[in-house]
Structure 1
């Protein structure tokens, strides 16, 4: 590999245009984005012209075969994550794949297997891990300030935030709705801070009450007549270490606030809300609320991309591992399976 990382982009949609391309550009001389592929070649062409990318393809297979690449960003709908990631890994590329890892646990397991087999980095776009709040709280947790983390609450809830663009309401292409889109971000954040414990038992319910009818849209008009995902998912995960996590996520719910993204942790030495960061402790006979006076500014996405680039160039470990991707995918699948059957799902080791 040269000292300059040669990057290809698979998928020319909003996340590629709004996050990956500009973040790679801010890496300066460390990175050259040299190719973009999208099944709609005109979209790839427009993106390439905007960011001065020299090569354009309507097939990522052709891009991987014809352009020498060191790394790839996978920015396609969830259904196509696994084949694109596996193809890039087998071609010798490091891969940053947008979340969620895949559509099924089996796909995530195969992606992890190929990453191990090829010795290439595979990491996922859980950008909240790279936030200043999470970084600070992780240091407190690692220092034992919260003690044994035995309970967590996860919220990713919008009042009327069904995306009016893309394929977010298409279950066939996405695999689900708010659980697999925004809920997975807060779920991963909680799991990361808890040390990614092994799940044992999962109970979930999903609801489609609001998205399949006309209504107010705070994120644009959506195709309510072809709405095939859940509005809301609610679940509980019990881990093998005895800890418990409860989850609520929704694109549309009759609640007060327009948008809530929050992780709450409870340990025997302290607790915390992550966004914004506040730590709760009892010390010297006093109950304390601790607020950081200052947190570093900057984009979580830019830190994520920058650290991926650094890992590719130096061989450092990526923050999110393929094995963690497998765990979160198993939990998502189990929540949907429990909702479908009405029964709790017991996960194997």
Structure 2
């Protein structure tokens, strides 16, 4: 069997900690062919360190010269869409880091390029691969929860403003905690709920802590360059009557250092994902079910492995390209709702 020829656009931290290791572990079916970065020296270093045959400064040159089958897009958010569309138009399957894009219009262009070229487009929403989410999804699909009519998602940090990269720059990131960490828990909740169609969305974003100096648990930041929200609180009502509350922050005056969780509430049972607990009842008593022996898995590895298997064996990826349109539109509307101080129709 001919190996899947893979190229990587970007040579940052996520590439070295997740993408390269996952592709190397699949060396029996994957050939890690090329890597590129606008910092050519960084691309050369990665190529030398991991035995990648070719490195480039311009990904267009890589796409033209390397006859790739698949591409990982691991650049800053602002360049997700163009890199993905160009790779799809070059005949490559694409795995893109989250968020899908800066806005819905860009996400739609990516989706349309994947359909036009009949190539896979998927995204590294790796929390779907967590053991807790897998088990919850199985239980939901078996009918244990009945109709799920409410959810609450939390992606909260007490003082987790990243002191590196572009995370506080709205122009290149598109936003702050909502588009960076909140989107993970939002995606997990929507996946568990079956992606119901929204009816209207409301949100309020705040910039109360990041725009001044303070104590950081993830490095120091420059308040003068802080142009994103440091917290956002949102609400979605779906057309089936279900609701979802979202809380996300880089900085918030709360007790815990960090909370990443999804809570779902159904007619027959409810659950919290991290740690996994299911709340139900028998004829005579209320019951709590715990799962104390779940093994921690490398969620990013599982997500990239899912992409590889989809490309090589033709299986459908866990994350469908059309789902990116829903989550990107929700993100857009939450930011617009916050700006206008109004709930907005879908």
Structure 1 residue 294 displacement after superposition = 2.8
CA distance, structure 1, for counterparts of residue 291 and residue 283 of structure 2? 20
Shift of 1:3: 3.3
Distance 2:32 2:163 in 1: 29
Partner-residue secondary structure (3-state), 1:135: helix
Distance in 2, matches of 1:224 and 1:6, equals 43
- Equivalence for 1:316: 315
Whether the 8 Å contact between 1:278 and 1:291 is mirrored in structure 2 is yes
- Residue 133 of structure 1: aligned partner: 132
1:293 Cα offset (Å): 4.2
Q: Please provide the CA RMSD for this pair.
A: 0.9
TM-score (norm 2): 0.98
Equivalences, count:
346
Large movers: runs of 4+ above 3 Å: none
Q: 1:290-305 residue pairs with structure 2 within 5 A?
A: 290-305=289-304
Match of 2:89 in 1: 90
Cα deviation, 1:12-48, whole Å, max 9, x if unaligned, reads: 1111111111121122312121111111111111111
Residues 1:227 and 2:234 aligned together? no
**CA-to-partner distance for each residue in 1:44-81, whole Å, 9 max, x for gaps?**
11111221111111111111011011110000011100
> Does structure 2 retain, via aligned residues, the 8 Å contact 1:3–1:313?
no
Mapped to 2, the partners of 1:45 and 1:128 lie a distance apart of: 31
Where does the alignment leave 5 or more consecutive residues of structure 2 unmatched?
Answer: none
Q: C-alpha distance in 1, partners of 2:243/2:325?
A: 19
Q: Mark the runs of 5 or more structure 1 residues left unpaired by the alignment.
A: none
Match of 1:216 in 2: 215
- Inter-partner Cα distance in structure 1 for 2:126 and 2:158: 23
Task: Please list, as runs of the form range in 1=range in 2, the aligned pairs for 1:1-349 lying within 5 A after superposition.
Answer: 2-347=1-346
- The answer to whether the 8 A contact 1:92-1:120 is kept is yes
- The TM-score normalised by the length of structure 1 is 0.97
Structure 1 residues 113-134: Cα deviation after superposition (integer angstroms, max 9, x where no partner): 1111111110011000001111
SS at match of 1:28: coil
SS in 2 for 1:165: coil
Shift of 1:298: 2.2
Q: Deviations over 1:261-289 (max 9, x none)?
A: 00000000100000111011112222111
Cα distance in 1 for partners of 2:102, 2:242 equals 26
**How far does the alpha carbon of each residue in 1:187-208 deviate from its partner, in whole angstroms, 9 at most, with x for none?**
0000000001111100001000
Distance 1:281 1:195 in 2: 21
- In 2, the alpha carbon distance for the partners of 1:103 and 1:214 equals 28
Q: Point out the more displaced range, 289-298 or 304-313.
A: 289-298
